[in-house]
Structure 1
Amino acid sequence: MRKLVLAASMALLTACAAPQQQQINFMPKAVLSSSEITSDATFNIVSKDIRSAQYVALVDSGRSNIEPIHSKQNVRISLENALLEQLQSQGFRNTVNSENTVELEIQEVLVSVKHSVMENEMDGKVVVEVTAENAQGKLVKTYTGTAKRTGAMSASNQDIEMVLNDVVGLVLKEIANDSELKEYMQERF
Structure 2
Amino acid sequence: MKKLLIAASVLALTACSAPSEPQLTINPQPVISAQPTAKGQALSIESRDLRTAQFIAVVDSGRQNVQPLHATQNLRVTLEEALSRQLRSQGYTLTESSQGTLRLDILEAIVNVKHSVMSHEMTTKLQLQLVVESPKGKFVKRYSGKSARNGAMSASVEDMEEAMNNLISAVLKDIYADPDLNTYMQENL
TM-score in terms of structure 1 length: 0.92
Tell me which residue corresponds to 1:19: 19
Tell me which residue corresponds to 1:112: 112
Quote the Cα distance in structure 2 between the aligned partners of 1:145 and 1:69. Answer: 20
Quote the RMSD (CA, aligned, Å).
1.9
Tell me which residue corresponds to 2:68: 68
User: Which residues in structure 2 correspond to 1:37-186 (within 5 Å)?
Assistant: 37-186=37-186
Displacement of 1:63 after TM fit? 3.0
Displacement of 1:17 after TM fit? 5.9
Gaps of 5+ in 1: none
Q: Amino acid of the residue matched to residue 81 of structure 2? A: N
Displacement of 1:16 after TM fit? 3.1
Displacement of 1:39 after TM fit? 1.8
Q: Amino acid of the residue matched to residue 182 of structure 1? A: N
Displacement of 1:14 after TM fit? 6.3
Tell me the secondary structure at the aligned position of residue 36 of structure 2. Answer: coil
Displacement of 1:42 after TM fit? 0.6
Displacement of 1:93 after TM fit? 0.6
Tell me the secondary structure at the aligned position of residue 70 of structure 2. Answer: strand
Quote the Cα distance in structure 1 between the aligned partners of 2:28 and 2:181. Answer: 20
TM-score in terms of structure 2 length: 0.92
Deviations, residues 45-78 of structure 1 (Å, cap 9, x unaligned): 0011111111110001113211111111221111
Deviates more, 1:53-62 or 1:10-19: 10-19
Quote the Cα distance in structure 2 between the aligned partners of 1:32 and 1:70. Answer: 28
Q: Amino acid of the residue matched to residue 118 of structure 1? A: M
Gaps of 5+ in 2: none
Quote the Cα distance in structure 2 between the aligned partners of 1:16 and 1:161. Answer: 26
Quote the Cα distance in structure 2 between the aligned partners of 1:185 and 1:148. Answer: 33
Displacement of 1:88 after TM fit? 1.1
Quote the Cα distance in structure 2 between the aligned partners of 1:97 and 1:167. Answer: 32
Quote the Cα distance in structure 2 between the aligned partners of 1:52 and 1:19. Answer: 27
How many residues are treated as equivalent by the alignment? Answer: 189
Deviations, residues 67-120 of structure 1 (Å, cap 9, x unaligned): 111111221111001111111111111011010000001111100000123101
Q: Percent identity?
A: 46
Tell me the secondary structure at the aligned position of residue 45 of structure 1. Answer: strand
